[in-house]
A and B are shown apart, each in its own frame.
Chain A
Amino acid sequence: MTVTVYVPRDTASISMGADDVAKAISDLPEDIKVVRNGTWGMTYLEPLIEVQTDKGRVAYGPVTVQDIESLHQADFLKGGRHVLCQGLTQEIEYLKNQERLTFERCGLIDPLSIDDYLENDGFLGLKRALKLSEKEIIDDVMTSGLRGRGGAAFPTGIKWNTVYEAQSDQKYICCNADEGDSGTFSDRILMESDPFCLIEGMIIAGLAVGATKGYIYLRSEYPLCKVVLNDAIKIAEEHNYLGFDILGSGSDFFLEVRIGAGSYVCGEETAMLESLEGKRGMVRAKPPLPAHVGLFGKPTVINNVLTLASIPIIMSKGGDYYKDFGIGRSRGTIAFQLTGNVKCGGLVEKAFGITLGEMINEFGQGTYSGKNVKAVQVGGPLGAYIPPQEFDLSLDYEAFSEAEAVLGHGGIVVFDETADMKEQAKFAFDFCVIESCGKCTPCRIGSTRGSELIDKGNFELMRELCDLMDSSSLCAMGGMTPIPVKSALKHWENDFKD
């Protein structure tokens, strides 16, 4: 009987040799069907291969080509015992302790099998949305309490409603897939592991606001995403989920992937629009909001990948179902990414409200180096550095905002005690120097002066500069660069003394 073996095809597992592992397994003298699934996001176990058995999928990882022979001898095709065996995938604590809503299919399915997608609740949300009015769809999104997962956490339903009410002959849905924050890869995992989910979310957004054209603005550093998305779009077109008259509903929706060119600030929504229009990625002043004057001057919904990918489950199970997860005004789940100097790095989708300490010690299992944790940076290059004494902080928007920190896109970078926080603060300024679009002075000049002031040791003036950048920059690039700087200075003042 043919044995099905799953070998992930995502950037992380491939960077650890998954392609060679897949080939080595195919070459075994056995009746094997190798399925390239996405990833479960347990990155510390990659490549994590799985064997389909009577009891379920048995996981082995991290597997290298050199392990295939001993796995074969251990009868892994029957789920045999081996030092790399992790037991049943679904029973692995790291996965079992998560709440998978947006990522429910990631790892489970072949990302480019529309049959797999349909068998696992795919397109149920779209089918329901096709029976609803625009207003009913938007109301359900409002009910869910979903807020933008890109970092700014703006309520999605309100944004959609603004675009819905705007009058125009053409409207657009733009997916921001310019996931540039260091310490983040959840968008990548979603796009590589469940591309139809994003496509479905975008179609629903189009139905809700009356847009017939969508763009995915994808960063150039994600070449595999480009391949997977374009293949998925083609398959969706062939099955009439995209194009004219979707599923005979009379509604049209067209989707296109556009590639960025290595600019961090193009993750800012208005810079992204400029870039999509083929221009320099210069930030636009708001108002007008993109919801009124967006891409090519038309009303435009701009949402992050995970915001849009959360829509199908909200549509299929209802806004109330989604709202029941979370805490306070932070509803639903958020994808955290445990990264940097961490033992068990990967993707952790949890309802809001778990503490930072639980995330780092229970999921992450401490540092990779085995040394003590010195700092964690949450929310990307513009996020605060947080010391271990504040690890009881709840991972939700409000608690973080109170602590002068940001959740951002859910990236958590762990640093051990060898980190030099003055060096990290200086890097925050230097990164802003390199990536500033140059439109506003506080960001363009302030970042350079800030870096110099750190070298000179003039921290009083640097604090003043931080306040100025915070209050008078045009966008978050200049406005939030002071956050990592100030937090480093506040908690690790000793590092700043020579």
Chain B
Amino acid sequence: MINTNKAVEVINQYIDIPGGLLECLHGIQSVFGFVPKETIDDIADGFNISRAEVHGVISYYHDFKTSPRGKKVVRICQAEACQSMGSRDLTRRVEEILGVKIDETRIDGAVSLETVYCFGNCALSPNVEIDGKLHARVTSDNFEKLVKGEEA
């Protein structure tokens, strides 16, 4: 159940900021983990725009999710510098290890595997972020340890 009162509280922090919709959506996402559809009416009201416009912004940006993410979120860079250091093979191995395809959430909700185009750490490729913590020079061997929370 989405607490829409909580959502309104968040929305009200941003409605007076010029162009504050993106900041608001980040705010909503940090509270709920995604942007629940139940909040869209209140966002539209708050910013005095249509629901379609809110939907348009949410669906445009890769960062905004419309369904809950996995308990663990693994993000793996798919851009050129990481490609040059084997990110394509690494991604296939990570998919096997986690039992989930890239850009999907595992059916039990335990883990999401997401694409990122560049963490800006391209001298230490390939890069993988696990629950917000960035790891560099990741191999499939040390990934297994990292994802279990052990030091590689």
On A, residues with C-beta under 8 Å from B are: 11-12, 14-16, 43-44, 46, 179-185, 187-188, 220-223, 258-264, 275-281, 296, 337-342, 345-346, 368, 377, 381, 411, 413-416, 419, 424, 427, 431, 434-435
Closest Cβ–Cβ distance, residue A66 to chain B (whole Å): 10
Q: Decide if B121 is an interface residue (CB 8 Å cutoff).
A: yes
A278 touches B20 (CB 8 A): yes
Pick the most buried of B47, B56, B62: most chain A CB atoms within 10 A of its CB.
Answer: B62
The contact of A262 among B20, B61, B123, by CB within 8 Å, is: B61
20 pairs across A/B with beta carbons < 8 Å?
Answer: A16-B124, A16-B137, A43-B123, A182-B79, A185-B123, A222-B120, A223-B132, A258-B23, A259-B22, A260-B22, A263-B62, A277-B18, A280-B56, A280-B60, A341-B85, A341-B125, A368-B85, A414-B84, A424-B83, A427-B80
- Known contacts A12-B136, A296-B19; is-contact A340 B62 (Cβ 8 Å): no
Inter-chain contact A264/B136, CB cutoff 8 Å: no
Judging by beta carbons under 8 Å apart, are B118 and A180 in contact? yes
The residue in chain A whose Cβ has the minimal distance to the Cβ of B132 is: A223
Known: A259-B23, A261-B61, A262-B61. A221 touches B80 (CB 8 A): no
Residues of A within 8 A of B125 (CB): 339-341
Q: Complex: how many Å from CA A16 to CA B85?
A: 16
Of all chain A residues, the one with the shortest Cβ separation from B119 is A221
- Residues of the B chain whose Cβ atoms lie less than 8 Å from the Cβ of A44: 123
- Do A261 and B123 have beta carbons less than 8 Å apart? no
B85 touches A264 (CB 8 A): no
Q: How far is the CA of A427 from the CA of B87 in the complex (A)?
A: 13
User: Beyond A280-B57, A340-B81, A413-B80, is A345–B117 a contact (Cβ under 8 Å)?
Assistant: no
Bound form: Cα–Cα A187–B121 in Å: 12
Given A277-B19, A413-B84, 4 more pairs with CB closer than 8 A:
A264-B117, A278-B19, A339-B122, A431-B117
B101 interface residue (CB < 8 Å to A)? no
Contacts of B84 in A (CB 8 A): 340-341, 413-416, 419
Report yes or no: B57 in contact with A342, Cβ–Cβ below 8 A.
Answer: no
A261 engages B22 (CB within 8 Å): yes
B136 touches A15 (CB 8 A): yes
Q: How far is the CA of A300 from the CA of B61 in the complex (A)?
A: 24
